[in-house]
Amino acid sequence: MRKPIIAGNWKMYKTIPEGRSLVQGVIQKLTGYNEVEVVFCPPFTALSAVKDLTGGTSFGVGAQDLYWKEQGAFTGEISPLMLKDIGCDYVIIGHSERREHFGETDETVNLKVKAALAAGIKPIICVGETLAQREAGETQNLIKRQTELALKDIETSAIPRIVIAYEPIWAIGTGKSSNGTDANEVIGLIRKTVAGIFGNESAEQIRIQYGGSVKPENIKEFMDQPEIDGALVGGASLEIDTFVKIVKY
C-alpha cells in the first residue's frame, strides 16, 4: 500500500515569521492525523525555521531545488549536503517554473535526482506538458520521455524513495485543473514507464502525485483515482485552513 503524500510548494512566498505561523497552524490542526504524509516546501530562507518546528513530528520538510555538486565555486547555489545539514527530507526537482525560467533541462534534472539520492534526500520529480503540447497530442510521448530521462541510471533500490509529480503546466496557478480521469491516465502511463525500466514491483511502490490548481473542492476527485497517490499543492498550501482541508480530503 502506498501512503498518500501531500506536499505544499510555497514557491517564492512567506518570510520566516509567516512560514512559522503557517506551519504551527497546520501542525496544530493535523496532529494525530496520520493517514497522509504531509510535507512543507518553503523557500530556502525558511527551511531551517520550518525544520525546527517539524523536528520530532511526522511532518516532512522539502526544498524547492538544489545543485548537484557537493560544494565549490557555484555562487548562489545550494548543495545536497547543505540541505541534509538542515534536515531536509525531500527536494522538488524539475518544477516547470524552473524548467521555463531557469534553464532546467531533463539532463540537469537527472543530475539533481542522483545528487539528492546520494545525499539521502528524497526527490519529488516534476513532469508535465504545456497546453500546446497537449493540444498537439504530444502529452504521452513527452511525459514518457521526461520520466525516462529523469530516472536515467538510477538504481532500482532507490525507487521507493522517489516521488513523481505530474503537473500539467496549463493547470499550474491558473485555477484550471485537470480532471481525475485525465490525470489518472497520465499518471498510469508514468507508472507503466517506471515498470518498463525497473519492473512491476518498483512501479507499485513509487508514489505519483497530481499537481496544478489543487484545492479543497477538487482534491477528492484526484485522490479517488487508483493511480494518484497524492498532490503537490502551490497556491492553496499558503493558507492554514485550505491546506488542512486538502490534507483531510
Q: Which residue has the cell 497537449?
A: 134
9 or 79: CB nearest ligand PGA: 9
Question: From CA 158, how far away is CA 171, in angstroms rounded?
Answer: 29
Strand partners, 124: 92, 163
Of 232, 240, 246, 247, the residue at the interface with ligand PGA (CB under 6 A) is 232
- Contact criterion met (CB below 8 Å) for 66 and 98: no
Name, in order, each residue with C-beta under 8 angstroms of 186's C-beta and a sequence gap of 6 or more: 139, 140, 143, 166, 168
119 or 236: CB nearest ligand PGA: 236
Of 36, 214, 228, 246, the residue at the interface with ligand PGA (CB under 6 A) is 214
19 or 234: CB nearest ligand PGA: 234
What's the closest the beta carbon of residue 80 comes to ligand PGA, in angstroms? 21
Of 9, 146, 147, 209, the residue at the interface with ligand PGA (CB under 6 A) is 9
Stretch that binds ligand PGA, among 55-63, 143-151, 194-202, 233-241 (CB under 6 A): 233-241
Nearest to 3 by CA among 200, 223, 221, 240: 223
235 binds ligand PGA (CB under 6 A): yes
- Catalytic site includes residue 95: yes
Of 212, 218, 229, 249, the residue at the interface with ligand PGA (CB under 6 A) is 212
Question: From CA 237, how far away is CA 30, in angstroms rounded?
Answer: 14
Question: From CA 31, how far away is CA 65, in angstroms rounded?
Answer: 28
What's the closest the beta carbon of residue 126 comes to ligand PGA, in angstroms? 7
Amino acid at 97: E
Nearest to 45 by CA among 26, 21, 73, 19: 19
C-alpha cell at 183: 490525470
41 binds ligand PGA (CB under 6 A): no
167 binds ligand PGA (CB under 6 A): yes
C-alpha cell at 74: 557555484
Per the residue annotation, which of 95, 97, 104, 129 is the catalytic one? 95
213 binds ligand PGA (CB under 6 A): yes
Q: What are phi and psi of 216, to 5 degrees?
A: -55, -30
Stretch that binds ligand PGA, among 25-33, 132-140, 201-209, 229-237 (CB under 6 A): 229-237
165 or 203: CB nearest ligand PGA: 165
Positions in the binding site for ligand PGA (CB under 6 A): 9, 167, 172-173, 211-214, 232-236
Residues carrying an active site annotation = 95, 167
